[in-house]
């Protein structure tokens, strides 16, 4: 006869394996959540920096458009033509709508990188992980003026009449 008080195992091997699997699954889930939230934060920061850099480059080029002569009656709007080399030298972060806490470097150069001209230097050198750089191509005619005849000669393949090609580089970082 058996008595009503039988002894048994408190922790069976099945229970220990099941508990270990549950802990492992929870750890993997938390790791995935942490990775996803960090990735979302980095994407948000990068998108913010891209928007700031694009706005700054637009302002730098649009604040000093080329003066067009001979285009008046035809409704021309010459995009990518700017006298930006002289227009924003000495500009501040506020002129380019770059918020406080964001560092920047704005320069223009020839397409091959020569004749680099520092236009705006806002704070220390870049050295952090959150960096965005935008390069914008533009032309910069001598004196900031381009007439219709010169423009047409340039378009028709006479490179001697073309305005100087330049690259505006805007680097933004936190």
- Measured on CA atoms in the order 88, 89, 95, 98, is the torsion positive or negative? positive
Beta bridge partners of 122: 104
43 pLDDT exceeds 90? yes
Q: What is the mean pLDDT of the chain?
A: 81
Rg value, the chain, Cα:
30
Per-residue pLDDT band for 44 (boundaries 50, 70, 90) equals very high
Give the torsion through C-alpha atoms of 19, 23, 24, 30, to 10 deg.
Answer: 160
Q: Would you list the domain boundaries of the chain?
A: 45-173
């Amino acid at each position: 006869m058996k008595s009503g008080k039988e002894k048994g195992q408190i922790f069976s091997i099945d229970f220990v394996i099941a508990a270990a699997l549950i802990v492992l699954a929870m750890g993997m889930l938390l790791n995935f959540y942490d990775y996803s939230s960090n990735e979302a934060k980095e994407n948000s920061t990068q998108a913010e920096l891209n928007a700031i850099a694009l706005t700054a480059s637009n302002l730098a080029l649009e604040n000093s458009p080329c003066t067009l002569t001979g285009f008046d009656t035809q409704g021309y709007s010459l995009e990518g033509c700017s006298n930006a080399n002289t227009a924003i030298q000495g500009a501040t972060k506020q002129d380019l709508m770059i918020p406080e806490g964001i560092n920047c470097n704005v320069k223009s150069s020839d397409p091959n990188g020569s004749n680099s001209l520092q236009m705006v230097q806002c704070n220390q050198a870049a050295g952090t992980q959150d960096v965005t750089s935008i390069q914008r191509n533009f032309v910069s005619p001598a004196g900031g003026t381009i007439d219709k005849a010169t423009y047409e000669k340039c378009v028709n393949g006479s490179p001697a009449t073309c305005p100087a090609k330049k690259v505006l580089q805007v680097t933004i970082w936190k």
